[in-house]
Structure 1
Amino acid sequence: MNIVLGILSSVGRLIVIGILLVGMANCTQLGLNYASLDVEGKPAAYPPIAHDAEDFLDRREDWIQRIETHITGPIPEGVSGRLIEHRVVDEAYWDGHGILEEFVIAIEGSGKRRDFVLAVAWPKSDGPHPIIISQSFCGNQTAFNYPALTPPLPEALDDFCGGGEPSFMGSMVQKVFGRFISTPPMQQVLDRGYAYASYYTSEVIPDSKEPARALLPDFPHGPRGEISGAVSGWAAAWTAALDVLEADPRVDTDREAIMGHSRSAKSALVAGIYESRIDAIVAHQAGTGGTALSRNKPGETVAGMAKQYPHWFAPNYANFDARGLNTTPVDMHALIALNAPTPLLIGNGRRDVWSDPNGSWRATLEAAPIYAAAGTGGLQQENMQDAPVEADLVFWMRPGGHSITQRDWDFWLDWLDNVMARGDEVPTPTNRVKVAPAK
């Protein structure tokens, strides 16, 4: 009997793995091809912006409205965060390298409210600390590898992880998407002096079509209007988190970074448009609807994205493919450019053709003059592979696919050390002054 049960258990796990892999393939189509390094003969970013960077900055609000109308829906500028509850979870977290805490935060705006839990791991060293605020795919319990953290509400759980606690399903996610897809190299982060915070996106807005659509009309928003896409709504939690964290003396308010992977990278770019307190952004493998140009592209198309994830974007986004090759009203180079002058790292994997590193590189090239005009050192590389760790705008590409690896974290932390250097440290060659973009 035990043998039979063991066989049935193994078969069941294989079925689960198969379902998981199919679902993941729908998300990111894991491939074996390499992204092209050549930009010759490929469609240019349209409409062009690099030819007149000052004009782009002068008409920044017009470009934001284009992004809102055709891609993201209204951005959540004007929402706020309020601390509801705070508790210390573990004063000897990660074998004594840190302190683990929880903050229950309310996102507020337009007379509405949405609560979420932000978990924070603090270094044991004296502060104030630079902080990295991230979004998690599988809940805080998995993100911090700590089951005693508050689990997400059952209605917040999505199909990607199937549960909040570290689990068999979560381990399979890590095997496919990399060791650090759900939990960062926590000891490395803490020992480098960084605090690490994270929240579960599906607790803010469920990453599921019908539940998200049902929630969006009641989600808090600012004067720009009602949120119509989850990517934009997820960005609101970054603002709320900053409101609460900046009141904590342990946070170095001059060194606050946000980090997002895949759909969360798209959200990070939205937050960077309006949230001036963000001092650096890591947008890793943002792909279609993030950093990759939308016209005539390999990998995931706008039509495919809009069909699979209609709750992520504005309703108009589904019409993008129908507008023709040369009549797209806005594309992702403008989204990159609207993040200027905030230091921005655009991450990629050479085998992640589905997310189109080549299209992201061409978008970065078109946005680079805007960064320079906004008062930064701008892009300092001539190709997709030679990423300078000190640049304000950097295109990072390592071998491998749609994942988060040790190599990513090593570079990200070195880059953050440079672009968020302490005021009393020797400045890097590029200009670190945060200049408010022209309106």
Structure 2
Amino acid sequence: MRLLTLLSLFTTAASVSMPLAAQKPAFVPNYDEAQANFIAIPDVLTATDGSKITTREAWLAQRKPELLQLFATQVYGKTPEAEVPIRVETVGADKPILNGKGVMRQTILHIGPQGEVQAQILLFLPASTKEKSTPVPTFVTLNFWGNHSVSTDPDILLSTSWFRDNKEKHTVNNRATEASRGTGDDRFPIEAILDRGYAVATAYYGDFDPDFDDNFQNGIHPLFYRDGQTKPDPDQWGSIGAWAWGLSRMADYLITLPEIDQTKLAVLGHSRLGKAALWAGAQDERFTFVISNNSGAGGAALAKRIFGETVGRLNSAFPHWFCDNYNQYSLNEAALPMDQHALIALMAPRPVYIASATGDQWADPKGEFLGGKLAEPVYALFNLPGLGVEEQPAPDMPVGKTIGYHLRTGKHDITPYDWDRYMDFADQHWSASPK
């Protein structure tokens, strides 16, 4: 009933003669649980032909490939299979940091035949990995404000990429300034990560594709256009797909390093980059631990709940994030052949962690929890426990076995509390982190 009402309102507003600015009604999010869950959620173990998936072999051979194809063609867009040349340039020597606790290394990926796109990778390694010659587990993550924002270290390259203007982050005329250094370090507790025995690698997401709608004329998309093509086809990748591709290129580099344990790569993302981390993890099984932090709609949250941000809101506010085919589900979530719990299920049997925040109803914390909960039947095929609880836990009470979840007190953000829970979960699944 509510869906029909929304459609009616939208149609009426579009048909009445009004000034152009008034033709499109303002988006009003639903925050009422009584109005959520009115669309049936597809069973993750029912194949498109109606058959039931009852074994891990059938999951791997039938259901998993068809779900990957559905997410690729209907949501994020297909990632090109073609390869482009990438040249790796190491910038300077490793720099000791934090009174000898770790080292910092910078690398540039020159992507394309002429190095048309450059992506800077900033890697922090525990000092012990060199002293003991022991490869370490690594968190792989994109950042929002450039590598120079994650630390005040003056030797970190100041990005020359496009940035959204932001007074707080000191980005002016779409460029970073020296005052931008360290403005995002609250999201990167580098010392705590190194103390736990983990490495962390990060890159600015805008290096792979700037986060604005320019009809895909910059970033990595044009490197893959066929002759005469000027934008992705309706079923080809948008920006989230490009950011996920970038995460995999970071993995390409990291697994060549003797200091990195290539069997223990965790892909992590916050907000829109949480969506990208999930899509990267679904496509690239070298990420043996996948982490979604406040990823919301188009990430871990169920689309069919119609709670907080919706498919239609995503497509209207950020038309470049998803493939064009995703537009057919705006105000039409009932037509989606799957929901986001199926994306979580694609990680099985690898561990996955989902995090929400009490002050982030826009991202639908309960829908994020349910995204993990409804993926449990797939993990059960591998005889693996899921969340271990039936109901969403109270704030600051992490739960989970192979699927982890917590609802943190606070706002839409990634905090040291979140990082501690991810490292705890990594300890659990990767034995203990090396000290």
Coarse TM-score class (shorter-chain normalised): 0.7 to 0.9
Tell me by how many angstroms 1:82 deviates.
4.1
Aligned to 1:404: 414
Distance 1:379 1:133 in 2: 24
Map 1:342-361 onto structure 2 (within 5 A): 342-361=350-369
Q: Which runs of 5+ in 2 are unaligned?
A: 1-26, 47-51, 227-231
Alignment correspondent of 1:130: 137
Call closer, same or farther: CA 1:75–1:330 in 2, change over 3 Å: farther
Following the alignment from structure 1 to structure 2, what is the Cα–Cα distance between the partners of residues 53 and 333?
A: 16
Cα distance change on mapping 1:76 and 1:412 into 2, 3 Å: farther
Distance 1:312 1:159 in 2: 19
* Partner of residue 145 from structure 1, selected from 146, 152, 165: 152
- Please give the residue correspondences for 1:178-217 in structure 2 after superposition, counting only pairs within 5 Å: 180-181=186-187, 184-210=188-214, 212-215=216-219, 217=221
Alignment of 1:76-91 (within 5 A): 79=83, 82-88=86-92, 91=95
**What root-mean-square deviation, in Å, do the aligned CA atoms of Structure 1 and Structure 2 show?**
3.4
TM-superposition CA deviations, 1:149-172 (whole Å, max 9, x none): 222224x3234652445637974x
The residue aligned with 2:109 is 105
Q: Distance in 1 between matches of 2:328 and 2:213?
A: 18
2:41 matched residue in structure 1: 46
Output the amino acid matched with 1:251: I
Q: Unaligned 5+ residue runs, structure 1?
A: 1-28, 426-439
Q: Distance in 1 between matches of 2:39 and 2:348?
A: 21
State the match for 1:19 in structure 2.
Answer: none
- Residues 53 and 369 in structure 1, CA contact (< 8 A), matched pair in contact too: no
Q: Distance in 1 between matches of 2:434 and 2:196?
A: 18
**Partners of 1:297 and 1:356 within 8 A in 2:** no
Percent identity for Structure 1 against Structure 2: 28
Residue 305 of structure 1 aligns to a residue in which SS?
A: helix
What is the TM-score of this pair, normalised by structure 2? 0.78
TM-superposed CA distance for 1:221, in Å, is 8.8
SS of 1:131's equivalent in the other structure is: strand
Q: Which residue number in structure 1 is paired with residue 265 of structure 2?
A: 256
Name the CA shift for 1:381/1:211 in 2 (closer, same or farther; >3 Å). Answer: same
Deviation (angstroms), 1:202: 0.3
Q: How far has the Cα of 1:269 moved from its partner?
A: 0.7
Whether 1:157 aligns to 2:169 is no
- In 2, Cα distance between equivalents of 1:281 and 1:376: 16
| Structure 1 residues 44 and 145: alpha-carbon distance in aligned structure 2, compared to 1, 3 A threshold | farther
Using the alignment, how far apart are the partners of 1:278 and 1:199 within structure 2?
16
Residue in 2 that maps onto 1:18:
none
Q: 1:152 to 1:321 in 2, by over 3 A?
A: same
SS in 2 for 1:260: strand
Deviations 1:45-67 (A, max 9, x none): 53222564545542222111111
| Residue from 351, 375, 386 that aligns with 1:378 | 386
Counterpart AA for 1:122: L
- Write the distance in 1 (CA, Å) between the matches of 2:224 and 2:278: 19
- For the pair 1:218 / 2:222, whether they are aligned, the reply is yes
Higher relative contact order (CA 8 A, sep 6+): 1
1:315 aligns with 2:315: no
Counterpart-to-counterpart distance in 2, 1:335 and 1:366: 10
TM-superposed deviation, 1:90: 5.3
Inter-partner Cα distance in structure 1 for 2:73 and 2:267: 25
**Equivalent residue letter for 2:377:** P
Opposite residue 142 of structure 1, the aligned amino acid is: S
Counterpart Cα distance in 2 of 1:80 and 1:130? 28
Match of 2:179 in 1: 167
For the pair 1:120 / 2:123, whether they are aligned, the reply is yes
Q: TM-score, normalised by structure 1?
A: 0.77
Whole-angstrom CA distance in 1 between matches of 2:264 and 2:53:
27
The structural deviation recorded for 1:84 is 2.0
SS at match of 2:137: strand
Give the secondary-structure state (helix, strand or coil) at the position aligned to 1:74. coil
CA contact (8 A) 1:78 1:221 kept: no
SS in 2 for 1:335: helix
Q: Which amino acid aligns with 2:393?
A: Q
Matched, 1:288 2:297: yes
